Structure 1
Amino acid sequence: DLLDAIRQDVLKQKHEEAVNFFSKVYDFRQFIIATSPAADVSATVKMCCLSSERLRANNGTRVTVIDAAQHGVFDSTQEALHDLTAGKRKAYIAQITVWDSKVKKGVANRPHLIFHHGALYEFRQIDGVGFFADIPIGRVQFEADNVKIVELLPPSNKRKAAHGSFKKNAKAKGKTKAKEPTSSQDTEPDDEPEDDGGDGDEDD
């Protein structure tokens, strides 16, 4: 019956998402070339955001991505890609269109995501997979519960900056403590430098 047919399609979709998992642009390209997937075939892409731009109709965001492995060397990879012509750059990038969520009256939700260049993302339930101008593409619908688009890692340069800031603050606190008069209470074994709970570099 209808319910069984729907359940079978759900199982098929989950299987496609697990099997059609790509973290390299080359593999994504080869999948499209080899299978010419139908519009409803699902895929999962885990890649690093190179850039993003709003669509002209202001109803979605086009995210240009590169291999997940480039996350740790994003700045160098970005500079190298900029030295290539637009035609040669196509071999190293893919583009995912993220459609805005539908705004519901009386419901407070964000209609779209802000993508951070250099961050590592996983895009789930991508469909419409194919080529446009020789660039691998796919599309996904952003929804209020947002289970389809996950930021796995922030930009690597931001993580380094945050780590450096923490070490600098800890060192400064250590110097301040050394100058202060000590007492028996100041020399307890568990008297560690306090963590202020963050470095102030969190994204909204």
Structure 2
Amino acid sequence: MVSSGLEKGFSMIWAIVKLNFIFITFTLLGGLFLGIGPAFQTISDLVQINELGYRETTWKLAFERWKVNFIKGNLYFYLFFSIQIVIFYNLYLSSSLQGLIWMIIDFILLFAVLLLTVGYLYVLMNESTYELSFINLFKLSFISIFLNFTVFLKIIVGLTGIILFTLSMKGLILFGSFSLIILWMSFASKKNREWIDGKLTYEN
């Protein structure tokens, strides 16, 4: 019983590490700037296909998914990234101003950043799960954010924990940070995605 539990634990850890190595490898393969988006989409695909099955998550499968995801992965990533850059710039400008109205604006801008971050992760999950047009993919991802506020908070708390843990242990960037982000998103959003699956099944 104990040995079985240990084996399962080591398998989960190795799956997390392997997914993170895949992310880093394909990010570098894309020259960093053209690799991040496809790499995120690729490990999202692998998690949806094999969950934490490290044996089924092969480098050959990962490379095939990366090639398929190259264009759309970059499109999704830089669409959200460019909007966030604009918001962060406005946040920087407004943070130097005093007054209640500017505090409210800062809060709105920060909330917008959180919405965009979660929205991007939902785009990854939904792209990995459904065959949707560009517009419908973004519509579904936007709707998913507001389906359940508790799920939204769970996602934010988990992502914050991963970031803080990474800041305290820099080696996690190499061994787990990026895969943990995708795995946490998959776990935390499961309730919403199951509800959507039920609706789609009922409509079909």
> Same fold judged by TM-score > 0.5?
no
- Which has more radius of gyration? 1
Q: Which has the higher helix share?
A: 2
The structure with higher relative contact order (CA 8 Å, sep 6+) is 2
Q: TM-score, normalised by structure 2?
A: 0.26
Q: Which has the higher strand share?
A: 1
Q: TM-score, normalised by structure 1?
A: 0.26
